[in-house]
Amino acid sequence: MAGKKIKVAFGAGAFLEHVIKEMPSCEMFDFAVDNDINKHGLTVGGVSVRPVTDIVQYSKENMNVWICVIDNTAINAIKEQLKSLGIVDGVHIISSDHHVQLGDALARLKENEDNQDYGNLNLPSFVKSFERSYDCKSGGYRFPNENYLNFACVEVPVGRFYYALILLLGGTGISCVLETGTNIGYSTIMLAAALKEVNPRAVLYTIDIENFPHIFDYVQDFDNVVFLNGSSINVDLPPDIVIDILVIDSDHSYTVCMNELLRFEPLLKVDGYILMHDTLYYNSVGYCVAQLKDNPRFEVITFETPRIHASGSPGLSVIRKNSANGFPLYFDDSKIKEKECRTGQPPAFRRGYML
């Protein structure tokens, strides 16, 4: 068994038998130990029972001991006994009292809290510094040397939602994300950082007619971002591109938004997703979402987002493409002259607007 992790159960009572019944065979214990000499040499659920002292003949670095007892008051005593044998790490608890298991897990997390980075996401330090300029009360950003709130980027919770969604969908094989509306690239870097986690070969194409300074220009190792400077309606794309996630957040006119959908939706794979920001604030964008909502090829959900505008939340719509066959999207000329921003009224597509 050299080099192999040894799995030992401490406690050879009825509770161990229950545990073994619930365990997959690939996770089975190598043997069990117990302080009761009357149990030595017996088997429980097919697992042999030995004296506790048999543990010392194995490498401590290759050993995991699972305390399996009903009497939760005995757990600390067992831990001390194992400690006297030099076994401190690799000790786990399978208790009939779930609260004990949770307490042990939380205690271990507390011990290792300095090494935990998931709460901060796997982001470059510059991006974390940028996020600190976010003003939670307004949903805007207070940049250095600016005496006003900047609302050009998505809210930090939205950026982190993009990151989380990529991780959530990573198992579906994401290889290509296309974004319209780069601006300075906060949403871009959040998408790109998550892509690096799920697929180092994935590519993010981001399009903007303006060429602002970008966050991703200030960080290293983000060669998965391809910036395309030009109009989203006619900028050149790689041939045979297949999009897994489409992010639309550029010009908020109906003309541009709908034409982006008409151009890029056919390139979006079935089961792919469309993310659209500002769908509650701009009626012109809301009308596009309304058409998607009324089309049986798509399913749509819209969230309020934490930014304070005179007319309410900007909103974020998440659209899943269920089918490529059926009703095509179309351009509605009657929407070109509609007011872009709503003024104190509910969003257009929440007023029962029918296309």
Q: Of 115, 138, 157, which residue sits at a domain end?
A: 115
Do 80 and 203 lie in one domain? The reply is no
Whether residue 114 is predicted with pLDDT greater than 70 in this model: the reply is no
Among the listed residues 204, 194, 195, 188, the one whose alpha carbon sits nearest the alpha carbon of residue 238: 204
| Domain assignment of residue 344, yes or no | yes
Q: Of 54, 82, 115, which residue sits at a domain end?
A: 115
Q: Write down the residue that tokens 């970008």 correspond to.
A: 214
Region 33-43: mean pLDDT is 95
Do 58 and 174 lie in one domain? The reply is no
Domain that holds residue 59: 6-115
Do 38 and 157 lie in one domain? The reply is no
Do 242 and 297 lie in one domain? The reply is yes
| Domain assignment of residue 63, yes or no | yes
| CA pair distance 290, 285, nearest whole angstrom | 9
The chain-wide mean pLDDT, for the chain, equals: 86
Residue type, 237: L
Cβ-Cβ contacts under 8 Å for 29 (sequence gap 6 or more): 7, 8, 9, 20, 23, 47, 66
Parallel, antiparallel or unpaired: strands 203-208 and 225-229: parallel
Do 98 and 242 lie in one domain? The reply is no
Region 211-222: mean pLDDT is 89
- Report pLDDT digits (tens) over 124-145: 888 988 998 999 988 989 888 7
Whether residue 2 is predicted with pLDDT greater than 50 in this model: the reply is no
Q: What b/e readout covers 213-246, taking b as 16+ CB neighbours within 10 angstroms? A: ebbbebbeebebbebbeebbbeeebeeeeebbbb
Please give the tally of structural domains in the chain.
2
Cβ atoms of residues 305 and 314 within 8 Å: yes
Whether residue 282 is predicted with pLDDT greater than 70 in this model: the reply is yes
| Domain assignment of residue 84, yes or no | yes
| CA pair distance 23, 60, nearest whole angstrom | 23
Q: What is the pTM of this model?
A: 0.69
Whether residue 116 is predicted with pLDDT greater than 60 in this model: the reply is no
Structure tokens at 200: 């180092």
255 vs 5: which has the higher pLDDT = 255
Whether residue 298 is predicted with pLDDT greater than 90 in this model: the reply is yes
281 vs 321: which has the higher pLDDT = 321
CATH number reported for the structural domain that contains residue 337 in this entry: 3.40.50.150
